A and B are shown apart, each in its own frame.
Chain A
Amino acid sequence: GDSVTQMEGPVTLSEEAFLTINCTYTATGYPSLFWYVQYPGEGLQLLLKATKADDKGSNKGFEATYRKETTSFHLEKGSVQVSDSAVYFCALRGVREGSNYKLTFGKGTLLTVNP
């Protein structure tokens, strides 16, 4: 079945540092890929997405590129802020009949940014 593997946290950075959170996936065909963010005490919200190979999703200074050849969708930000402290989830929507209605999530990566 479909699966998502993301780097385990927690990740602790200083403000203005560069961020990478790795995400790789296993799925047939060309799934849609997502990054969701969960701020403390809140539900998840969509951060960015990509629906086909080589697409780059971007939002709030975060970027991720859909790499079919490496089955990856790594999240990056050039300069993190304290307000970016949150849990980040990589997710995919598969294309197989019977499972294409749902999202498969990674386990989440806790990011803490210190001033």
Chain B
Amino acid sequence: DVKVTQSSRYLVKRTGEKVFLECVQDMDHENMFWYRQDPGLGLRLIYFSYDVKMKEKGDIPEGYSVSREKKERFSLILESASTNQTSMYLCASRVAGGSHEQFFGPGTRLTVL
């Protein structure tokens, strides 16, 4: 059974803190994604990684960075969290050149106070 796991389901941080969100997939997928999900806005792509150490900005990268040191792990970093980054964060992965189906993790609901 395919699996994408995220390090936390719920996270509460304070403004200005550095926040790490971790995502791990066990499917040997090349491509990994970070999205944020907000009511009325759907899913918006933050960053995409097409292979180890490779990354591309998505539609809303401001205020975020990413790290992909190993194929199975993709980290989203909020260098200095702000209240407008309170959101649900979803990680996904897919095999490169395949059917383009993305497999999603359960999400991390981040609250920044």
A residues apposed to B, CB below 8 Å: 32, 34, 36, 41-46, 49, 89, 93, 101-103, 105-108
The minimal Cβ–Cβ distance linking B39 to chain A, given in whole angstroms, is 8
* B64 contacts partner chain A, Cβ-Cβ < 8 Å: no
Given contacts A106-B42, A107-B42, contact A41 B106 (CB under 8 A): yes
Q: Is the CB of A103 within 8 A of B41?
A: no
Q: A41-B106, A43-B104 are in contact. List 12 more A-B contacts (CB 8 A).
A: A42-B107, A43-B105, A44-B90, A44-B92, A45-B103, A49-B101, A101-B48, A101-B50, A102-B33, A103-B102, A107-B41, A108-B42
Q: Is the CB of A46 within 8 A of B101?
A: yes
**Closest A residue to B101 using CB positions:** A46
Q: Which residues of A contact B92 (CB under 8 A)?
A: 43-44
Does more than half of chain B's interface fall in helix, strand or loop, or is it mixed? strand
Q: Which residues of B contact A43 (CB under 8 A)?
A: 4, 90, 92, 104-107
Q: List residues of B (1-60) whose CB comes within 8 Å of A's CBs.
A: 4, 31, 33, 40-45, 48, 50, 58
Q: Which residues of B contact A107 (CB under 8 A)?
A: 40-42
Q: Which residues of B contact A105 (CB under 8 A)?
A: 42-44
B: number of interface residues (CB 8 Å): 23
* B100 contacts partner chain A, Cβ-Cβ < 8 Å: yes
Q: Is the CB of B40 within 8 A of A32?
A: no
**Closest B residue to A41 using CB positions:** B106
In the bound assembly, the distance between CA atoms of A36 and B102 in angstroms comes to 10
The minimal Cβ–Cβ distance linking B9 to chain A, given in whole angstroms, is 8
Q: Which residues of B contact A49 (CB under 8 A)?
A: 99, 101
Q: Is the CB of B100 within 8 A of A32?
A: yes
Q: Is the CB of A102 within 8 A of B101?
A: no
The minimal Cβ–Cβ distance linking A114 to chain B, given in whole angstroms, is 22
Q: Is the CB of B42 within 8 A of A42?
A: no
Q: Is the CB of A45 within 8 A of B104?
A: yes
Partner of A103 from the list B40, B100, B103, B105 (CB cut-off 8 Å) is B100
In the bound assembly, the distance between CA atoms of A43 and B34 in angstroms comes to 12
List 6 A-B residue pairs with CB atoms under 8 Å apart, sorted by A's residue number: A43-B104, A44-B102, A44-B104, A46-B102, A49-B99, A101-B48
